[in-house]
Amino acid sequence: MTCPHCVGAELFFDEKEAQKDLRRYRSKGPMKTAQMLLDALGQADMTGKRSLDIGGGVGALQHELLKAGVASAVDVDGSAAYIEASKEEAGRNGTTDRFEYHHGDFVDIAPSLEPADIVTLDRVLCCYPDVDAMVAKSTALAGEFYGLIYPRKTFGARGAIKLANLYMKLKQNPFRAFVHDPKHIDSMVRDAGFEPRYEGRTLVWHVVLYQRTRDERRSAPPDSTERAA
């Protein structure tokens, strides 16, 4: 990764932050918004499916989805420290052989990835400047479900992002956070052939699970069916 934003993200999401988030996950489980998305996914049969988590952090969504019956998980993250934390937890759970890891900018890596039944982006759109490219390339890989957690366009959310960016500026870190237009995000996902299956909100975050419409639905990748058999 050579772009200043990506380099800044790697510096911010370092080993100290990764280990702190891993300890929190082990003691308290997934964060509230992640649990909302997991609960929505849990309304469908996850058995044998393949998941792709973009910017997955310590892997909370995927560790939980594997427990729910998902066959395999692909983790793409711009932070090497968070990938190592996810690997540590996978080793603890005995699921290392069911994970595939990719370190780098998802938009660059996307052409080399196989489609997945479930694609999730937990607090990722707010960490990426080119929302159009991120949504376009991630929806293209989603076979059935597409889950998003991103900031609501509220005064509180925008204020929090401004404070975070001021902190980054003072630290001379080029990483920046963003509040992208929710209507634009929703329009792009719908145009890609999805419709909302679940929507939830907290004070700051918007949680949406989309499902590919029946006439647009793709079959699962061939190897995921074999793994489920």
Give all strands of the β-sheet with 72-77 in edge-to-edge order.
99-103, 72-77, 50-54, 116-122, 142-151, 205-212, 194-201
How would you label 181-203 residue by residue, b for 16+ Cβ within 10 Å and e otherwise? Answer: ebeebbebbeebbbeebbebeee
**Tokens, residue 37:** 């998305």
Residue whose token pair is 């890891």: 101
- Token reading at 46: 């996850």
* The pLDDT of residue 12: 78
**Residue 210: which region, alpha, beta or left (left: phi > 0; alpha: psi -120 to 50)?**
beta
Residue 154 confidence (pLDDT)? 83
27 contacts: CB under 8 Å, gap ≥ 6: none
The whole-number mean pLDDT for each consecutive block of 10 residues of the chain, a chain of 229 residues, reads: 69 91 98 98 97 96 98 96 97 98 95 98 94 98 98 85 86 87 97 98 95 68 35
Q: At what angle do helices 32-41 and 60-67 cross, to 10 degrees?
A: 30
The Cβ-side half-sphere exposure at 199, using a 13 Å CA radius, reads 6
What's the pTM? 0.88
The DSSP bridge partners found for residue 212 are: 194
Structural fold of domain 4-228 = Rossmann fold (3.40.50)
Burial of 215 (0-12, 13-18, 19+ CB in 10 A): exposed
Distance, CA of 41 to chain centre: 14
214: which 2 tokens?
């029946």
Largest CA distance in the chain: 54
pLDDT, residue 158, reads 82
Identity of the residue numbered 76 = V
pLDDT at 5: 67
pLDDT of residue 217: 59
